[in-house]
Each structure stands twice: as C-alpha cells, then as structure tokens.
Chain A
Amino acid sequence: MANSVQEQVIAQEPAGKAGQSAMSDFVPTKEQTAFQRVISSQPFWVTIALIALVILMTAMEPSFGTSENVANVTRNFAPFGIMALGMTVVIITGGIDLSVGSIMGLVVIVAGLFLTWHYPWYIAFAMGLFSGLSCGAVNGFFVAYVGMPSFVVTLGMLSVARSLAVVFSANQMLYQFGPDAPIVKAIGQAKWPRHGPEDWAPHWIPELSSQFWTMVILALIVGFVFNFTAWARHLFAIGGNEEAARLTGVPVDWIKFQAYLFSAFTASIASLLLLGYNGSAINAMGQGYELRVIAATVIGGASLMGGAGTAFGAIIGSAFLEVIRNALLMAGIDSNWQGAFVGAFIVLAVLLGMQTGGKSILAASLATLMPKKSR
C-alpha cells in the first residue's frame, strides 16, 4: 500500500520542480583540499596583489623599499589593523560598528585629561579604556538585547562619542601631560629591533613600532580564538543563521554584546597607542577612520552579510590600503584622491566576493548584460 502511494507521487511530481532542484542534487565527489581552500579565499588573492604592488613599487621608487619607509608604512597601518580585528568580529556576526573612529576620539581625550590632571599614566590609560568600553557596552546592549539594527545604534554612538570628546576637551588640544608624559611617549614611540652602535640590528632590518607589534600580538590571539574556540564557532554561526544558533542553545545575545565590546576595546587600544605616539590629544582623532577600517576588513575577505572573516584578512586588508596610499603619495598624486581610492576598493572588494545564485558575480553580470536570446 505504502509503496504504491509513493510511486504514484513520483509520477505526479511536477517536472518543473524536479528540474529546479536538480542543481542542488549535484554533490561534489571529492572534499576540498586545504590547498584548494586557500586558493579560493579572498585574503590569499589580496596578499598576492599586495606582494605584486610592493615589488612594483620597490622597482619603481628606490625610497619605497628602504627600512625607514617599511617602518613608516607598518606603523601607519597598525592602528587600522588593530581596529580591523575588532571590526571583523562584529562583521562576522552580521553587524557593523560605525562608531570606532569616534570612540578613538573620546578615549584619547579622556586619557589626555587625566594626564593633564597629573594622574599616573596607568590611571589615565585605564580611564580611557573604561570610557571606550562603556561606549562598546552601550552599542552591544542596544544591538544584542534591545534588538536594534547595528547601523542605527553605532551611527548614534558615532555622533555621541565625538560630541562628548569635544565637550570634555572644551575643544582644546591637550598636550601638557604632567610627570608621566615621558612614559606615555615611550609606550607610543617604542621600537624593536633598534639600530645603532650598541644594538644588534643591521640597518636593513626596519625598526618596527610598538603599534605594529601590538597589532601582531592581537592578530595572533584573535586568529587562535577564531580557529580553536567554541566562542568563535558560535560567532560564525550567528552570522550564518542567527535563528539556528539561538535554537541550538547558543547564547546569541551575550556573544553579540561581547563582539561590540571587543570592537570598542580595539579602538581604545589604537587610540592610546596613537596618544603616546603623538604626545598630544585632539578630539578630532579617528575622524573618518570607521570607513577605512570597514574597507580594510571587507578587502580582507570579511562578508558584510556576516558569517565570514579572518584575523589574517583584517591585517592584510589594512596593509593593502596603506601601501596603496603610500604608493599614491610617492607617485606624486594629490593625497585628496585617497578617499576616492578607498571607496572604490570597498565596492570592488564586495563585488568580487559576491556570489549570486551560486555563480560568481562576473558570470552573473555577463548573463544579465547578454541574455541568451541576443547572443
């Protein structure tokens, strides 16, 4: 009885439906090898592009490959790399954090104020960090627990944190830092390895900044967490299918909250390092940085739809943007063009990463531009 009924339905199955699902019936016969996975990843191709760009620039501009310029470039992109790590965590959950630049402004002013009031440097840094984390907690609370769109919440924070920075600083630049000023400066301007008569490093090794090393350490930690912890597994699951993660018992709200807290943490660290490097605090610090950080993250292969992203990609994306900027400067192109390039690269990176109905964007747009009939 049961069998005959089943056969009946097989005969009745509308042809169209069977045809549609024929695509998804296809299963690749072999598992992807590790090599294939690397080849098909965006960070890999960005790395190739970066290496090509560096080789090209070194050949064309003798000053590009010098150890001074390498130290410069790595120092310049380190704060972006640090923040891109935080942004990657947020973007993996399918959210976005537009407030990182403003959080930097608030953190530098709060820390700067405590320094001008002659507090020890660690109190000043702790207060700066606290103000940054508070912003992150507010973002996280409204996104995760109230359920508001991250775009709206962090856009609000972008405005609020910047405004607080201006108010707290009375719109003044802060630079009279009291007794701990040298320590703060030493933290921001520290380098390793050092050149010089009593140090071991030969001249061709660049003197890498404390900002760069902070970025490397953070990237290693984030990379480890992404690959080996359940927390990161849950983070990716939330980005892939938030409802599914919730149904399987993943603490979705708590993890999303932590993501925004971590993003604010990285912005605070970047801000404090720059405070030390500059030796002064201005409330405009970090203005427009959110765009560059998001661009670096997306170029590094994080998906704005959520569910994808790597620590390595965040760093490579930041490096790529900085090398482009540096190359443009050396080529004598007006630095005001930077914005245009950064914007174009965001669109390009998203475009290349896009998948429409299983086809790459190139194949899909070709099919749209030239429908079968007209070909």
Chain B
Amino acid sequence: MPVLEIRRVSKNFGAIQALSDVSFQVERGEVVGLMGDNGAGKSTVVKTVAGNFPPSDGEIVVDGEVCHFHKPVQARAKGIEVVYQDLALADNLTAAQNVFLGREIKKGFWPIRVLDKQAMIDRSAALFRELKSETRPRDLVKKMSGGQRQAVAIARTRLSNAKLVLMDEPTAAISVRQVAEVLELIRRLKAQGVGVMLISHRMPDVFAVADRIIVLRRGSKVADKETGNTSPEEITGLITGAIRGE
C-alpha cells in the first residue's frame, strides 16, 4: 500500500488553476523527486499534502485512508511532516530545543510541570546519531552550518516517526559539502522506510537520491519516470516544455 496517494487532485485560487488533475503515489522507503519550473504547482502540491489548504477537487489518501486536511496539525497527526525551505528553526534556541519545540518532554506533577531537559538532550543526541550527523544537541542553531540545520529540521520529523517527509528545496542556498551531507540524510530517511518527497530545482541533487522523478508543468503532471530510465536532458526538456509529456 502506498504511504501517500494523490488522486486526480485539482486546486484553483479564484480564476487561477494551480493544479489540474494530478495523480501520483509515494511508496514507503521511496524518494520521489518533484520537479518543475517556477509556478508549475510544486508548492501547491506540498501545501495541499501538508494540510495548509484542502484541494478543490480530488482526494489525498494516506495509508489507504482518505484524508481531509484543513490545518498542518491534522496532516502531522497522520504522519506527514514537512521540512520547510527556511527550515522553520528558531535561531536563538539550541538544536535539542528546536527538535522538541511544541512537544517538549515534561516531568513532575501539576501545577509544577517542568522541562525534562536531560531527556530531550539524550533523545535528540540519539536522533542525530541515527542520522549520522555531527550536530550537538546543546549548540545554538545560529552557530550551525546549513547542513547541520537541515539535520535539526530532519531530526524533528524523526521524533514523531513520520511516514512521509516533504522536503521543500533542502539543498538551495547551501554549500557543496553541505549538499552532500543533506543528500546523505535523505538516504538515511529512505533506509528507515520513510517516504520522501523532494522538491527541488537542482537537477543533480534529485538525480543523486530520487528513485522516481515527477515533472509538473503549468499545473499538470507531464512525466513520472524511474530515475534510471531518464536523463537530466530529458527532464529539462519536460520542465521547459521542449519535450511533450504524457
């Protein structure tokens, strides 16, 4: 059973048709690259799946169950986590504090319920080890490299044992070495049986980790190809419209 199935989803904002009749699936432990030019509808797909707004038409099926999300919290409850482009981290807090932000571990009895700092530090240290990242739980996020920040954002998704992780441009605006680090993190997620949807402009990154590549153009799906059966040239052609899709 696919972890995520999008069935004939359309979305329009007033007169603007952002998505028309898009269908695809993501399996467990599968990395799916979602590509397309600006305005092709990538963000709309992400926001629909993440529960920022419901689709105008069509269904979102998570683990065989038809879902109607109106808020991101509802999607998260179904095991869908998003790593946002700006990572949604608070710079002034430490790695562990960010990982547990909004779901802190507490101890003691009402009315004095205090934070269990050591438990949170230990748990995030374990998560970073699992991701083979050198991030330290007590370090402030503002002093971290781009790759380490990604690790914090990804560790957060592991905390809830997400089934599907949506990653919006995780490799934009970071250095070459950090890109390699982030791609490794994505492979770790895959190895743990998590479905990953990777939204990216950067062709080589998508080719490096994705099992399958879906191309959107002007709100429609124009291609859904195994990475091994296609080439960057073909995908570029599909994105720009030089090659006609399905």
Binds A, one of B7-15, B18-26, B174-182, B189-197: B174-182
Query: Which residues of A are found within 8 Å of B103, using beta-carbon distances?
Result: 248-249
Query: Which residues of A are found within 8 Å of B178, using beta-carbon distances?
Result: 21, 25
User: Across the interface, do A249 and B175 meet the contact criterion of CB distance under 8 Å?
Assistant: no
A247-B72, A307-B90, A308-B92 given as contacts; is B176 within 8 A of A10 (CB)? yes
Query: Which residues of B are found within 8 Å of A336, using beta-carbon distances?
Result: none
User: Across the interface, do A236 and B203 meet the contact criterion of CB distance under 8 Å?
Assistant: no
Query: Which residues of B are found within 8 Å of A239, using beta-carbon distances?
Result: 92
- The reply to whether the CB of B115 lies closer than 8 angstroms to some CB of chain A is yes
User: Across the interface, do B202 and A245 meet the contact criterion of CB distance under 8 Å?
Assistant: no
A17-B175, A21-B178, A308-B92 given as contacts; is B102 within 8 A of A250 (CB)? yes
Q: Which residue of A lies closest to B100 (CB)?
A: A233
- The reply to whether the CB of A24 lies closer than 8 angstroms to some CB of chain B is yes
Distance between Cα atoms of A338 and B35 in the complex (Å): 63
User: Across the interface, do B90 and A244 meet the contact criterion of CB distance under 8 Å?
Assistant: yes
Distance between Cα atoms of A241 and B153 in the complex (Å): 14
- The reply to whether the CB of A8 lies closer than 8 angstroms to some CB of chain B is yes
User: Across the interface, do A245 and B90 meet the contact criterion of CB distance under 8 Å?
Assistant: yes
Query: Which residues of A are found within 8 Å of B204, using beta-carbon distances?
Result: 5-6, 8-9
Choose from B84, B91, B180 the contact partner of A240 (Cβ within 8 Å): B91
- The reply to whether the CB of B88 lies closer than 8 angstroms to some CB of chain A is yes
Query: Which residues of B are found within 8 Å of A26, using beta-carbon distances?
Result: 145
Distance between Cα atoms of A2 and B104 in the complex (Å): 40
For the complex formed, measure the closest distance between the CB of A260 and the CB atoms of chain B, giving whole angstroms: 21
- The reply to whether the CB of A237 lies closer than 8 angstroms to some CB of chain B is yes
Query: Which residues of B are found within 8 Å of A228, using beta-carbon distances?
Result: 114-115
User: Across the interface, do B89 and A241 meet the contact criterion of CB distance under 8 Å?
Assistant: yes
Choose from A21, A230, A236, A240 the contact partner of B175 (Cβ within 8 Å): A21
User: Across the interface, do B144 and A27 meet the contact criterion of CB distance under 8 Å?
Assistant: yes
User: Across the interface, do B104 and A230 meet the contact criterion of CB distance under 8 Å?
Assistant: yes
Distance between Cα atoms of A240 and B106 in the complex (Å): 22
Residues 4-25 of chain A, each 1 if its beta carbon lies under 8 Å from chain B, else 0: 0110111001000110011011
For the complex formed, measure the closest distance between the CB of A350 and the CB atoms of chain B, giving whole angstroms: 17
A17-B175, A27-B144, A241-B89 given as contacts; is B113 within 8 A of A5 (CB)? no
- The reply to whether the CB of B136 lies closer than 8 angstroms to some CB of chain A is yes
A18-B175, A229-B113 given as contacts; is B208 within 8 A of A5 (CB)? yes
Query: Which residues of A are found within 8 Å of B228, using beta-carbon distances?
Result: 1
Distance between Cα atoms of A230 and B182 in the complex (Å): 30
For the complex formed, measure the closest distance between the CB of B90 and the CB atoms of chain A, giving whole angstroms: 3
User: Across the interface, do A241 and B91 meet the contact criterion of CB distance under 8 Å?
Assistant: yes
The interface size of chain B toward A, counting residues with CB under 8 Å, comes to 49
- B156-179 contacts to A, CB under 8 A, are 156, 174-178
User: Across the interface, do B84 and A230 meet the contact criterion of CB distance under 8 Å?
Assistant: no
Query: Which residues of B are found within 8 Å of A234, using beta-carbon distances?
Result: 101-102
User: Across the interface, do B208 and A3 meet the contact criterion of CB distance under 8 Å?
Assistant: yes
For the complex formed, measure the closest distance between the CB of B81 and the CB atoms of chain A, giving whole angstroms: 10
Residues 61-103 of chain B, each 1 if its beta carbon lies under 8 Å from chain A, else 0: 0000000000011001000001010111111110001000111
Residues 130-150 of chain B, each 1 if its beta carbon lies under 8 Å from chain A, else 0: 000010101100011110100
Distance between Cα atoms of A244 and B153 in the complex (Å): 11
Query: Which residues of A are found within 8 Å of B144, using beta-carbon distances?
Result: 27
User: Across the interface, do B73 and A240 meet the contact criterion of CB distance under 8 Å?
Assistant: no
Distance between Cα atoms of A26 and B146 in the complex (Å): 10
A21-B175, A228-B114 given as contacts; is B143 within 8 A of A249 (CB)? no
- The reply to whether the CB of B207 lies closer than 8 angstroms to some CB of chain A is yes
User: Across the interface, do A27 and B88 meet the contact criterion of CB distance under 8 Å?
Assistant: no
- The reply to whether the CB of B227 lies closer than 8 angstroms to some CB of chain A is yes
User: Across the interface, do A240 and B104 meet the contact criterion of CB distance under 8 Å?
Assistant: no
For the complex formed, measure the closest distance between the CB of B6 and the CB atoms of chain A, giving whole angstroms: 22
User: Across the interface, do A230 and B208 meet the contact criterion of CB distance under 8 Å?
Assistant: no
Choose from B88, B136, B202, B205 the contact partner of A244 (Cβ within 8 Å): B88
User: Across the interface, do A5 and B145 meet the contact criterion of CB distance under 8 Å?
Assistant: no
Query: Which residues of B are found within 8 Å of A9, using beta-carbon distances?
Result: 176, 202, 204-205
Choose from A17, A28, A237 the contact partner of B90 (Cβ within 8 Å): A237
Query: Which residues of A are found within 8 Å of B232, using beta-carbon distances?
Result: 5
For the complex formed, measure the closest distance between the CB of A105 and the CB atoms of chain B, giving whole angstroms: 33
For the complex formed, measure the closest distance between the CB of B181 and the CB atoms of chain A, giving whole angstroms: 10
Distance between Cα atoms of A321 and B84 in the complex (Å): 44
For the complex formed, measure the closest distance between the CB of A233 and the CB atoms of chain B, giving whole angstroms: 6
User: Across the interface, do A233 and B208 meet the contact criterion of CB distance under 8 Å?
Assistant: no
Residue among A3, A6, A17 having the largest count of chain B Cβ atoms under 10 Å? A6
For the complex formed, measure the closest distance between the CB of B21 and the CB atoms of chain A, giving whole angstroms: 29
Query: Which residues of B are found within 8 Å of A237, using beta-carbon distances?
Result: 90, 93, 97, 101
Task: Please report A residues at the B interface, Cβ cutoff 8 Å.
Answer: 1-3, 5-6, 8-10, 13, 17-18, 21-22, 24-28, 31, 228-230, 233-234, 236-237, 239-241, 243-245, 247-250, 307-308
Besides A24-B145, A244-B88, 17 new A-B residue pairs in contact (Cβ under 8 A), listed by A number: A1-B207, A2-B208, A5-B232, A6-B207, A21-B178, A24-B146, A25-B175, A27-B144, A27-B145, A229-B113, A230-B106, A233-B104, A234-B102, A241-B90, A244-B87, A248-B156, A250-B101
Listed A/B pairs (5) with beta-carbon separation below 8 Å = A24-B146, A27-B148, A230-B113, A237-B93, A240-B92
**Sorted from nearest, which 9 A-B pairs have the closest CB atoms?**
A240-B90, A21-B175, A307-B92, A248-B102, A244-B88, A9-B204, A240-B92, A249-B102, A228-B114
